[in-house]
Structures are given as structure tokens and as C-alpha cells.
Amino acid sequence: MPRMPNVKVCIKEGPGKVAWVEMPLPDPGPGQALIRTTLSSICGTDMHLVDEFPDIPAGVPMGHEAIGVVEAVGEGVERIRVGDRVVAACLTSCGSCERCTGGDPQVCSSHGAPMNLLFGGQGEAFLLNGADFSCAPVPDGLSDRDAMLVGDILSTGFGAIERAGFREGQTVAIFAQGPVGLCATIAAKTYGASAIFTVESVPERIAMSRRLGADQVFDPETAVEQIMAATGGRGVDVAVEALGRQQTLTNCFRVVHFAGTVSSVGVYGGQEQVSIPCDGTFYHRRFVTTLCPTGRGRLEHLLGLIQQGRLDATPLFTHSMPMSQVVRAYEMFRNREDGVLKIALS
Ligand SMILES: [Zn+2]
Ligand SMILES: [Zn+2]
């Protein structure tokens, strides 16, 4: 007999549309955990999945950011127990394939990327694949909001800085201060950047950028000249592309000095390809990119930093709504109403 015959969950109803519906949720299979959601949110990637990706069919449960309490575990799950409060990784992993054991569980080959994305986090409960490796218990002292973002955007923002080989005391420019860009700003601050320049034009995002660590925020129109001026013509050590546009990627190359690094984490939705400038100094800079780093160890690392008081991403939750109003929340997020960054859905 099914443990939880029906749950309410947000699904992709069709291109550009989501709906709050009731659907059956089976018992957890081998390696899976059934998690009763206590907090979820909407991510920019959700918009791409709903609007653009034809291989995400209608009826698919949405949501890949979630915290909840383990209600049941399937065969073979050993590292988490019923009753644990856990934060899920947005990309699940098996823990045993070549990529997982090689340190890149976000591109786990057991499910075939991109389908190792977590689905169903925006619902009353969801099934998590590879539960031993795809979630981490939340330490007692941390609230759901404290811990929530480590599974996705906080890890991406930190990954943008870490993959660039950033060292304490270096200078950083971050193009766009949406949720991921703001997380990169938090990371640059946490790891001890000597100067953080951000690029943004939306007033609420400019204010949030300053609050989370930016020393100066520049308008996109004049950012390249201003960053070069602010660094005495030298350029920064690390530039992060957090928007997913050709122009901002090009601008990143223009503000990074020789031997510096351009780090790209923006989602170039709808673009077949992007190009990088090769004006004779192409070889002088490094270029790195990353999917959101995941895996249990990654979650534990970020939770540890939060526990130590080294970062606080909770200001990103600008709004909160009941999970049952998720359709309205999508509309708000899509239209960027009222300066919204992250909506806490519970
Ligand atoms: Zn996401
Ligand atoms: Zn794997």
C-alpha cells in the first residue's frame, strides 16, 4: 500500500505554464528517500525549464531547491534516516560512477545529464534519487532559510569564485546581481576579496549587492571603463559572468588582467553558441565554467561555513508565500515584481 497516496505539487502544465495539482507519489525505490518538504523556492532555471526546454514534458513536477524531513528511505540507503532534516542537492548523484568518484558529482552519469536534476521540490513531498550522496542533514542550529540555498545557487556562486582559483586578497568583478550573481558576491566576500565590483542596473539588486559585500556597483553601460579606472588600468583578477549573455561574457574578458580568470556561470538560454574574444591576448587569461557543484561533501562544506558565521544568504529571501500559491509565486518571479530575488515557499 502506498505510504503517501497523493501529494500536492507544482507541475509544468505546458510551455510557459505551471499548475498546482494532486498526484500520486510512490514509495521510495532503491537508493531513494521520500522527503516531506518544509521549505522550497523558485530558481531562474525553472523559467528555462518551463519556457524553453521541449524535453521537459508537460506533467513533470517542478522544483529543485528543497529542505524537508525524511519520511521513508528505500533499499540500500544507509547514511540518512527517517526523521532527519535534510537539504537536497539540486543535481543528484550516485556516488559511485567515474564522475562522482572523480569529484564531479554534478555531472553524475548514472541518470544522464541534465536529467539528474531534482524534480518535485515545489510540492508537499518528493522523491530524492541517490539519497546517500544527494542531500545532507541540516545542523540543529541552522534554520531552513539559513541552509536552503546551499543545494543550488549558493553552491553555484561559490563555485564561480572557487573554480577561478581565487586567492584571498584578489580583486573580483561580478556581472549581474541576480540570485546567482549575489551568491558569487557573498563568496568573494567570504573568501576575502580585497575589492568587489559588481555590475547591475536594478535598484533593489544594487542595494542588495552592497549589503552582501560589493564595494562599488557599476551600471552595465559603463562598467568596463569604470572597473578599469577603479583598478588603475590593471583590471581585476577574477571576473564572473552571472547573466548568460554574450555581451557580459565579452565584458568579463575586457576587465580581467593578464593571468586573471574569467569564470562563467550564467545560463545562456536559447543561444546556440557564445564566443570569446581572441584579439591577440586570448592566451593571456584563463576561462573556466561550472555547473552547480553538488554532492553531500559539497553541501556539508557550505553548511559548515554558515555554521561558523562566515556567511549569511538569508537576505536573498525577499518574499515568502504558502507553497499552495506557487503558481502566483512563479508569476511574481517571472515578472520580477516588487524587487523579488528568492521566494520562500512553505
Ligand atoms: Zn536552480
Ligand atoms: Zn554518479
Task: Give the DSSP per-residue string, 186-200.
Answer: HHHHHTT-SEEEEE-
* Ligand 2 centroid to residue 83 C-alpha, Å: 26
Structure letter (DSSP) for residue 97 = S
Q: Give the list of residues 6+ apart from residue 5 with CB closer than 8 angstroms, or none.
A: 24, 25
Letter for the amino acid at 273? Q
Place of cell 508565500: 321
Question: Which of 272, 289, 306 delimits the end of a domain?
Answer: 289
Does residue 166 sit in the same domain as residue 248?
yes
Mean pLDDT value of segment 53-65:
90
* Ligand 2 centroid to residue 272 C-alpha, Å: 27
Q: What pLDDT sits at residue 226?
A: 98
pLDDT(159) > 80 = yes
* Ligand 1 centroid to residue 178 C-alpha, Å: 12
Does residue 15 sit in the same domain as residue 137?
yes
Least distant ligand from the CA of 155: 1
* Ligand 1 centroid to residue 307 C-alpha, Å: 23
* Ligand 2 centroid to residue 301 C-alpha, Å: 19
Mean pLDDT, rounded, of the chain:
95
For residues 281 and 82, give the distance between their C-alpha atoms in angstroms, rounded to a whole number: 56
Please, are residues 164 and 263 in contact by the beta-carbon 8 Å criterion? yes
The model's pTM is 0.96
Does residue 170 sit in the same domain as residue 63?
no
Does residue 226 sit in the same domain as residue 102?
no
Does residue 147 sit in the same domain as residue 277?
no
Least distant ligand from the CA of 113: 2
Structural domain containing residue 164: 157-289
pLDDT(170) > 70 = yes
Helix (H, G, I), strand (E, B) or coil at 230: helix
Helix (H, G, I), strand (E, B) or coil at 91: strand
Q: How confident is the model at residue 9 (pLDDT cuts 50, 70, 90)?
A: very high
Return the number of other C-beta atoms located less than 10 Å from residue 307's C-beta: 16
Least distant ligand from the CA of 47: 1
- CA 174 to the chain's CA centroid: 16
Question: Which of 268, 289, 310 delimits the end of a domain?
Answer: 289
Letter for the amino acid at 149? L
* Ligand 1 centroid to residue 279 C-alpha, Å: 34
Cα maximum dimension of the chain: 69
In this predicted model, what pLDDT tens digit does every residue of 88-144 receive, in sequence order?
999 999 999 999 999 999 999 886 545 699 999 999 999 999 999 999 999 999 999
* Ligand 2 centroid to residue 132 C-alpha, Å: 12
* Ligand 1 centroid to residue 292 C-alpha, Å: 8
Does residue 260 sit in the same domain as residue 308?
no
Q: How confident is the model at residue 1 (pLDDT cuts 50, 70, 90)?
A: very low
DSSP string, 239-285: EEE-S--HHHHHHHHHHEEEEEEEEE----TT-S------SS-GGGS
Q: What pLDDT sits at residue 113?
A: 44
Report the CATH number that the domain containing residue 51 is assigned in CATH: 3.90.180.10
Least distant ligand from the CA of 108: 2
* Ligand 2 centroid to residue 116 C-alpha, Å: 9
Least distant ligand from the CA of 121: 1
Report the CATH number that the domain containing residue 176 is assigned in CATH: 3.40.50.720
* Ligand 1 centroid to residue 56 C-alpha, Å: 15
Place of cell 524587487: 339
* Ligand 1 centroid to residue 42 C-alpha, Å: 8
Return the number of other C-beta atoms located less than 10 Å from residue 299's C-beta: 26
Letter for the amino acid at 213? G
Q: What pLDDT sits at residue 52?
A: 83
Does residue 147 sit in the same domain as residue 191?
no
Return the number of other C-beta atoms located less than 10 Å from residue 142's C-beta: 17
Beta bridge partners of residue 218, listed in sequence order: 199
Does residue 123 sit in the same domain as residue 241?
no
In this predicted model, what pLDDT tens digit does every residue of 280-310 receive, in sequence order?
888 899 999 999 999 999 999 999 999 999 9
Q: What pLDDT sits at residue 53?
A: 81
Q: What pLDDT sits at residue 224?
A: 98
For residues 99 and 22, give the distance between their C-alpha atoms in angstroms, rounded to a whole number: 36
* Ligand 2 centroid to residue 61 C-alpha, Å: 22
* Ligand 1 centroid to residue 170 C-alpha, Å: 28
Does residue 98 sit in the same domain as residue 202?
no
Q: What pLDDT sits at residue 3?
A: 56
Query: CA 253 → CA 158, 160, 163, 298, distances in Å?
Result: 20, 15, 16, 29
Q: What pLDDT sits at residue 96?
A: 92
Q: What pLDDT sits at residue 230?
A: 98
Does residue 169 sit in the same domain as residue 283?
yes
Q: How confident is the model at residue 4 (pLDDT cuts 50, 70, 90)?
A: low
Q: What percent of the chain has a predicted confidence (pLDDT) above 70?
A: 97
For residues 324 and 37, give the distance between their C-alpha atoms in angstroms, rounded to a whole number: 12
Does residue 94 sit in the same domain as residue 139?
yes
* Ligand 1 centroid to residue 274 C-alpha, Å: 21
Does residue 84 sit in the same domain as residue 123?
yes
Structure letter (DSSP) for residue 107 = G
* Ligand 1 centroid to residue 8 C-alpha, Å: 21
Domains contained in the chain, number: 2
